[in-house]
Homo-oligomer: A and B are copies of this chain.
Amino acid sequence: MSSRIREQLLSLLLEQGDAFTSGEEISRRLQCSRTAIWKQIEELRKEGYQVEARPKKGYRLVHRPDRVAPEELKPHLRSQRFGWSIQYHSQVLSTQLIAHDWARKGANEGSLVLTEEQTKGKGRMDRAWHSPPHSGIWMSLILRPTITLAQAPQLTLMAAVALTRALRRETGLDIRIKWPNDLLINGRKFCGILTETRGEQDQVQYVVLGMGINVNTLEDFLPDELMKVATSLAIEGGRTYHRVTLIASILQSLEEFYDAYLKQGFEPVRILWEEYAETIGREVRTETSQGTIAGMAVGLDPSGALLIRHQDHLQPVYSADID
C-alpha cells in the first residue's frame, strides 16, 4: 500500500517539475493524510531523492537518484503488457534465477525482474557477466509463447532485432548484431541476450529472456580482460543515458516484435535480423559437433539457422560461437 502511495507521490512531483505543490493539494489528490505523505517523502529521501520542503509553498523534487525502480519506470512505459508486473531488487545474484522461480510459481507473461546490480550475472554457457551497480540494465522478462521447443531459438533472434531497433532509435548509434545473441558497436560488445526455455514434450511452457546492457559503464570500470572486446553506450555515445527511458523503449519494441512474431511467424524477424547483422557477408569460422566449418555467412534460413557457404554448399549452423 505505502509503496503505491510513494509511486503516486513521485509521479505527482515529477509532473510538477520545478514548481512547488502544497501538502494540501497532494493530500487531496492522493486521498491520504499529510502525515502519510510526510512519511513517504522521508522514504523517498532515503532512496536518494532530494525533496525540497518550504513553509507555505509545499514540496518540489530537486534531485532524482539514478534508479530503475518500478515507480521510476512505470510513468515511462508505453507497452501494453510487458513490464507492468515487476520484481525490483537493488542487488541480486542473477535476475534469471529470480525469474525462473517466479515463472514456476505462475508469473504472467510480461512479468519483469529488474535490478541495479548482479553479483553473479551470467551469459551463455554459464560464462560470467560483469554487472556493476547502477551502470547498466540487468533484467529478465517472462514469456509464455504457444510455440514448439524447436521454435524457441527464434526468440533470441527476435529479441536481438527488437533491442537493436529500440537502442538505435534512442541513441542514434550504429548497433549491429553478432550471431547469435550479442549486440555490438564498432565491433565491441555492449549487450548480451540469453533465452532459457522450459518445455513439456515438444511445447514451450515458458521462456526467460535475459538482457544485460552496458549503458553508463565507463572504460575505467570495465574489467581489464574485457577492455578490447567490451564497450558501453556511454563510451560510444560520449554521453550518459537515462536507463529507465531505454528500458521503456526496449519493452515496447519487444512487445511489438513478439506479437508480430506470434501472428506472422519468423519471416519479418529474419529480414530485419539480416539487415542489422554484423555477421552477414563476413568470413566466419565455427566449431560444431561435425567439425570446423569455415566460410562466408550468407543469411538465416527460414528456421533461424545461420547459413554458411562451406565447400560449395550452404551449411546451416544452429548454435555456436563464431570467430
Contact = CB atoms under 8 A, between A and B. Distances in A.
Interface in A150-207: 150, 152-153, 156, 180-181, 194-203
**Tier of interface size on chain A:** 20 to 34
A197 B199 contact: yes
Contact of A152 (B124, B156, B181, B199): B199
Contacts of A149: 149-150, 152-153, 197, 199
A318 B149 CA distance: 11
Contacts of A146: 289
A273 to B, nearest CB: 15
Total identical chains: 2
Contacts of A180: 201
A319 interface: yes
Nearest to A305: B202
A318 B181 contact: no
A319 B197 contact: no
B156 A319 contact: no
A194 B202 contact: no
A125 interface: yes
A149 B204 CA distance: 10
Contacts of A125: 200
Q: Which 6 A-B pairs have the closest CB atoms?
A: A150-B150, A153-B202, A149-B149, A202-B319, A197-B199, A202-B318
Interface of A: 124-125, 146, 148-150, 152-153, 156, 180-181, 194-203, 289, 318-319
Given A152-B202, A153-B201, A197-B199, 15 more contacts: A125-B200, A148-B318, A148-B319, A149-B149, A149-B152, A149-B153, A149-B197, A150-B150, A194-B200, A195-B200, A196-B198, A198-B198, A198-B199, A199-B199, A203-B319
